[in-house]
Structure 1
Amino acid sequence: MKVPSYRASWLLLACVLSIPAVHAEPVQVMNSGGFSAAYKALQPEYERSSGDTLSTAWGPSMGESPQSIPNRLARGEPADVVIMVGYALDRLIAQGVVDPASRTDLADSRIGMVVRAGAYAPDISTVDALKKAMLQAESIAYSDSASGVYIERELLKKLDIEAAVKPKAHMVEKTPVGQLVAQGRYALGFQQVSELKPVAGVQLVGRLPEAVQSVTRFAAGVPFAAKHPEAGRKLIRFLASPQALPAVVASGMDPLPGQ
């Protein structure tokens, strides 16, 4: 067997060392509830393929809680990517917080309803059935984000049950609605389907009828203050890619029209 010369070995080592290494970045992400399940499913694959490490802060897209994404950004918490309700992201763009050129739609999200596992599951397949279920329920909970805002400000009026339901309806901050339903604290719970599906101890009854459904589009963007903006854009391209779509759909979200 021919043994490589010292000079040949040195040249081989020099060539190996001259190959540029993949430059990994620590990417700070702020993510709201609706896209959380899809993001968690996709994170390991993305970190393996990109070499980047994702560090995530969780919070609603809006609201007064300290954990909300707008409040986190206002306090100066770092973020290379924000994933949130599209119209809430548009507000941050209008305020000069997020780069409008980075804005990317990711998926649509619909509202669903759960009951405690093993409890009676009322029919909500039609508008009349939904109205009856809400009138007969002992208590109702919904989130302080997009889905709950819609239910409190619009759905109850559309169904003409605001006066009857408001006294037993509660807007929940921070805690996932499904968790409180699983604990027996509320009879019916409404939130984005993708936020209800991962919760143990509840049964997903179904989605709101399409005639009174509210479709929330989730989107992502890069704040102007991002320390790693290019890494942030790379992550957003991945989340919006066909490669990510199966995990997005499995989470309970819907593809964008045309996908």
Structure 2
Amino acid sequence: MERIRMLSTLGLMGAMRSLSSAFESATGIHVDADFAPTLALLKRLRDGEAADLVILTREGLDEMIGEGRVVAGSAADLARSYVGIAVRAGQAHPDIATEAALRKALLAARSVAYSRLGASGVYFARLIQQWGIAAEINATATVVQQGFTAERLVSGEADLAVQQISELKQVEGIEVVGPIPLDLQTPAVFSAGLMTNAQHAEAADRLLRYLASPEVVPVLRQSGLEP
């Protein structure tokens, strides 16, 4: 069986698990996938890690194209994702519909979990800085190096978790309250591209075309992404 190696940002982990197996059933090509935050993947690629296909944020993919690591003409935008807030299942959902309500909810939380390396964490750190509440939030925050922030809700370490909605939805035992007000955020766009030194370029191209096709839209939506 032919195998292709794919490095993907965590935001697409849920969707990619089911899409990879559907692709394998249809084509007989096995997808060997590894998931990590975009910043961690960029470092690994710059350190020379080999892959056939990568899925990164659009900015990350553009950097890789600029460095000649990803084939420029191969780039395809797959999905967009918004940052959301989650609570442990069964907990009351705070009001986060407006900027004022969200600030109040964040300040009232015993601890807010957010990620250090993920795009959502970088965005959230900037947002609380702009609002002048960074010192208060960070005094009790649960900062996750990498991985799913919502796991800290299940463990009881945090009351609120902040991450891409598609990443929050990976964790059992939590509930997504909703997105941070959309006027406060620019969605992350996740894009795929073929590595210039891909060992299995033809098979990887087939996977890329499949992931960019309309038939995968319901799976993307189900996992909290917008096509």
Given the two structures, how large is their TM-score scaled by the length of structure 2? 0.94
Determine the structure 1 residue equivalent to 2:25: 48
| 8 Å contact kept, 1:179–1:199 | yes
2:119 pairs with 146, 154, 157, which one? 146
Residue pairs, 1:177-256, within 5 angstroms:
177-255=149-227
Looking at structure 1, the residues matched to 91 and 215 of structure 2 have their Cα atoms a distance apart, in angstroms, of: 38
| 8 Å contact kept, 1:109–1:215 | yes
Which digits, 9 at most, give the CA deviation of each residue in 1:73-94, with x for residues without a partner? 2343321000111111111111
Residue pairs, 1:2-151, within 5 angstroms:
25-62=2-39, 68-143=40-115, 144-151=117-124
Number of aligned residues: 226
The amino acid of 2:12's aligned partner reads F
Which digits, 9 at most, give the CA deviation of each residue in 1:98-138, with x for residues without a partner? 11111110010001111122223211111111010011111
Looking at structure 2, the residues matched to 167 and 96 of structure 1 have their Cα atoms a distance apart, in angstroms, of: 42
Looking at structure 2, the residues matched to 175 and 220 of structure 1 have their Cα atoms a distance apart, in angstroms, of: 21
**Alignment of 1:159 onto 2:131:** yes
Looking at structure 2, the residues matched to 175 and 251 of structure 1 have their Cα atoms a distance apart, in angstroms, of: 17
Aligned with 1:253: secondary structure? coil
The amino acid of 2:131's aligned partner reads L
Looking at structure 1, the residues matched to 7 and 135 of structure 2 have their Cα atoms a distance apart, in angstroms, of: 37
Deviation at 1:253, TM superposition (A): 0.4
The amino acid of 1:212's aligned partner reads L
Identity %: 38
Aligned with 1:248: secondary structure? helix
Aligned with 1:132: secondary structure? helix
The amino acid of 1:152's aligned partner reads A
Aligned with 1:186: secondary structure? coil
Looking at structure 2, the residues matched to 69 and 81 of structure 1 have their Cα atoms a distance apart, in angstroms, of: 12
Given the two structures, how large is their TM-score scaled by the length of structure 1? 0.83
